[in-house]
Structure 1
């Protein structure tokens, strides 16, 4: 059997190439998408690693500095940074495999996470995994008088979420798309978006009844039932409109009668004095 002769240059090139690929081959696993409020898990493995002295988990968000979450080393073992105690847990900490759990995710946890193995003497090897948090975090609603008509009210509904929520109005009474509505959006610091929808509806159709605000974000949705109160305020305003003038008339009449009686009594007293 004939075997090709390998010289020293072949041998050196081959071993160097395999060593480089072997050390940089970090396997990353875990959640890339998570629903708001759920836990997220991430893990990194550096197979057959040797010479690893230090393992680190870091996080980086847009326009922010890199933040260290947790470390593992021969000297200090596993350690979670004080700022993230209760939020981040090291579920596995060895020199060739490491895992973390991010608890009760919020929109602020949406970031890229970096696992780093400090290998001696070649230097650090890193793997980056990015996490997306989706969901609707909050809904609010209120009913206010219409600024342009006493016979209408403005119902407002706000939803905060990611991706940007959409809002639909529903009612068992009638189709809501016939009424005038306006939408406004606001980008929040945690990268979520708040959308507010205002719809103007007639009191004659909806007083004492409910309308529904439906918020949708990706495949998630939330509903909010909003009660439209009866027009008690308008009745109170109407009563005040008539009662106040009537009270003024009554008081004025009493003053005139009192003045008349007082004058009459004075005249009578003067006549009695003259007769005496």
Structure 2
């Protein structure tokens, strides 16, 4: 009977450590908020010697201690979080809960709570901390569309730096014509996502002045975020086209004149001798013409001589004879 009693006692003492457990759960928090990480030891009356918190993140994937609590309430911050991590538990009640202030995206990861009790030793459990990044929402107008023109991008809604990616949509109830929405997402180096949503329309006169709305949904937002946008379109009249055509014609004619002048100048620079010989030929022709005119004047003077002096003035001899 005594050997059976010993076996029973050994089984009894093995049962107690197996019943000890650490109770916790996953935690989600928005960037900039506070995260409460709960940790509680149950099913034991053993003496608590210390509580240790470890973490591993994307930046540091190995487990490392960052907080140690010793009875009765000696809190020691090590390796990193400093005053952002504080103890909010009660060692008498065997709760080792902590609070992390001003949580950032770098704090996301797995946190391990370790209770060290005597005589059974350490007991631990892991808690996953998820950090949500609130997106920054803006609506950017595209280049103004022209009424009667082709379809194009009317506006772009941007939900930047969200974690996880935000859901973006458009409300276009006030528009009569067809619309199209194109979304794309860009992964940022810090683990956030930027979503761009393009609203495409075929511009009509009835759209001008109407309102569309960008709607963003995200886990970090208590309610969907709505950003309105007032449509502003451009109009083109016939007078505009007429003035445009006239301006194009004037520009074209001016370019032709400039091209002709440039071409002529280039030719003159390339053939200076030819230009000079041409000028000399013109000069010689002018001299020859002047010589011909002088010769013609001399010939005319020979054929039409001036009257002789005897005919114009009678001599005294003849005058006396008459007397």
Q: What is the TM-score normalised by the length of structure 2?
A: 0.57
Q: CA RMSD in A?
A: 4.2
Which residue does the alignment assign to 1:57?
53
Matching residue of 2:69: 72
Q: Post-superposition shift, 1:228? A: 4.0
Q: Is the 8 A contact 1:59 1:111 kept in 2?
A: yes
TM-score by length of 1: 0.65
Take 2:231 and 2:45, find their aligned partners in 1: how far apart are those partners?
66
Q: Deviations over 1:12-56 (max 9, x none)?
A: 2222x123224x412225x63445554332221224454543322
Corresponding residue for residue 12 of structure 1: 10
Are the structure 2 counterparts of residues 94 and 8 from structure 1 closer, same or farther at C-alpha, using a change threshold of 3 Å? same
Partner residue of 1:258?
A: none
CA contact 2:27–2:130 (8 Å) conserved in 1: yes
**How far apart, CA to CA, are the structure 2 residues paired with 1:76 and 1:62?**
31
Shift in Å at residue 195 of structure 1? 1.7
8 Å contact kept, 1:108–1:191: no
Name the counterpart of 2:263: none
Give unpaired runs (5+ residues) of structure 1.
253-276
Looking at structure 1, the residues matched to 22 and 231 of structure 2 have their Cα atoms a distance apart, in angstroms, of: 59
Aligned in 2, Cα 1:228/1:194: closer, same or farther, shift over 3 Å? Answer: same
Structure 2 counterpart of 1:264: none
Higher percent of residues as helix: 2
Cα deviation digits, residues 66-100 of structure 1 (max 9, x gap): 35442213599113347424543322252732111
Q: Which residue is 1:98 aligned to?
A: 96
Deviation at 1:169, TM superposition (A): 0.8
The aligned residue for residue 141 of structure 1 is: 139
Cα distance change, pair 197–175 in 1 and its aligned pair in 2 (3 A): farther
Structure whose alpha-carbon radius of gyration is higher = 2
Q: Out of 210, 224, 228, which is 1:225 matched to?
A: 228
Pair 1:45-2:40 in alignment: yes
CA distance in 2, matches of 1:147, 1:231: 6
Partner of 2:213: 212
The structure with the largest strand share of the pair is: 1
Counterparts of 1:107 and 1:205, CA distance in 2 = 46
